[in-house]
Amino acid sequence: MNQPSRPATLKEVAEAAGVSPSTVSLVVNKKKDARISPETRRRVRDAIRDLGYRPNALAQTLVSGSSRFIGLVADAIATTPFAGQIIHGAQDEAWKHGYALLIANTEGNGDLENDAITMMLEHKVRGILYSTWFHRLSEVPDALREADFVLVNCFATEDGVRAVVPDEAQGGREATELLVRAGHRRIAFINATIPAPAKDGRLAGYRAALDDAGLAFDPGLVLEAYPDQEGGYGAVDALLSLGVTAVYCYNDRMAAGLYDGLRERGVSVPGDLSVVGFDNQEVIAAHVRPPLSTVALPHYELGAAGIRMLLGLDSPSDGASPIVKVPCPAVERESVGPHTRAAEFSPPPASP
């Protein structure tokens, strides 16, 4: 059952080519200074091809001193849809430069994390990307310091620790601008209750976009809710009491829950209220009714940029911060409509 066919050995290749095993080894390991005639090299390569011989990558690594692996430690491959895109971006970029990814999923378990990094070091990885599923401040694990490393979707406060993170403030500005450009002037923001760089950055972006549009920031238009569907659903009454024509939600899950509450109250999107999310979350943003305009978290690009930084292809310029921010692009769908005069001047419903 699925037994592997026995691979050809170096000795068999040598016999087929009529040379010594050490000559085959020299050809395989591309020793430039070895005196082997072009004709002999050709015979060896033909025999390798005919017999399907696979040179041992491990032995080649020992000869060259480092492997063609890059490690990626992720804290939540299984439980969020976000890690997948970081992996995808990192892998595409790594393959482009001749490296394979060695991926470990730690689910936040410190022992597993330490074991995974140790395993990667033992396999002489070129370096390690250390990634988290949500953008946050992180400690640098001790074991990681033995490798060349880059933090992805997280960052450290220590000097010189390289990191690639999403530009939350620019994303928040883009999200708000989708509403400003449609003519909205009274725009609510439902922020998350949980402290995080995203909470601060997305609020800063909202304020910057209002500023640019000459609109005064009104703290009364900023609500807070837990960043999932239940949080958005629970914020509906408070939101409707504000008399706004548009709302920007901290994330798409919150917007999806808000949709449910609005539908129950007969408030149509975008006819009565324009809604913008954040994340461009797979399986949700494009599939709610109406499809949600949002801002994408650039997970694929974070993974790719992390690899480029690790390999020294994208280096922060001298004196610049080693924390690189990747833009969050707007994704326009159907949840933003034009501002209507009627909505602007209708009095807010009385509070209970």
Q: What does residue 136 show for φ and ψ, rounded to 5 degrees?
A: -155, 165
282 belongs to the binding site for its own copies (CB under 8 A): yes
Q: What is the DSSP letter of 55?
A: -
Residue 85, CA distances (Å) to 194, 199, 217, 236 in order: 24, 22, 35, 32
Q: Which of residues 320-339 bind its own copies (CB under 8 A)?
A: 322
What is the nearest approach in angstroms of its own copies to the Cβ of residue 205?
Answer: 24
DSSP element (H, E) containing 135: strand 128-137
The CA-based dihedral angle spanning residues 35, 37, 40, 44, taken in that order and rounded to the nearest 10 degrees = 60
What is the nearest approach in angstroms of its own copies to the Cβ of residue 217?
Answer: 31
284 belongs to the binding site for its own copies (CB under 8 A): yes
104 belongs to the binding site for its own copies (CB under 8 A): yes
103 belongs to the binding site for its own copies (CB under 8 A): yes
What is the nearest approach in angstroms of its own copies to the Cβ of residue 131?
Answer: 13
Q: Which of residues 129-168 bind its own copies (CB under 8 A)?
A: 145-150, 160-162
Nearer to its own copies, 42 or 289 (CB): 289
Look up residue 116 and give its amino acid. A
271 belongs to the binding site for its own copies (CB under 8 A): no
Nearer to its own copies, 243 or 290 (CB): 290
Residue 114, CA distances (Å) to 144, 149, 158, 307 in order: 8, 14, 20, 21
25 belongs to the binding site for its own copies (CB under 8 A): no
Residue for token pair 């949080």: 231
Nearer to its own copies, 42 or 96 (CB): 96
The site for its own copies, by CB under 8 A, has a size of 71
Phi-psi region of 107 (alpha: psi -120 to 50; beta: other; left: phi over 0): left
251 belongs to the binding site for its own copies (CB under 8 A): no
- Measure the CA–CA gap between 336 and 251, rounded to whole angstroms: 15
What is the nearest approach in angstroms of its own copies to the Cβ of residue 36?
Answer: 23
Nearer to its own copies, 118 or 346 (CB): 118
Nearer to its own copies, 50 or 264 (CB): 264
The CA-based dihedral angle spanning residues 237, 241, 247, 248, taken in that order and rounded to the nearest 10 degrees = -70
Q: Which of residues 168-227 bind its own copies (CB under 8 A)?
A: none
Nearer to its own copies, 43 or 253 (CB): 253
95 belongs to the binding site for its own copies (CB under 8 A): yes
Strand partners, 246: 187, 274
Interface pattern 52-91 for its own copies (x via CB under 8 A): --xxxxxx-xx----x---------xxxxx-xxx-xx--x
Nearer to its own copies, 89 or 205 (CB): 89
Query: How would DSSP label each residue in 262-284?
Result: HHHTT--TTTT-EEE-SB--TTT
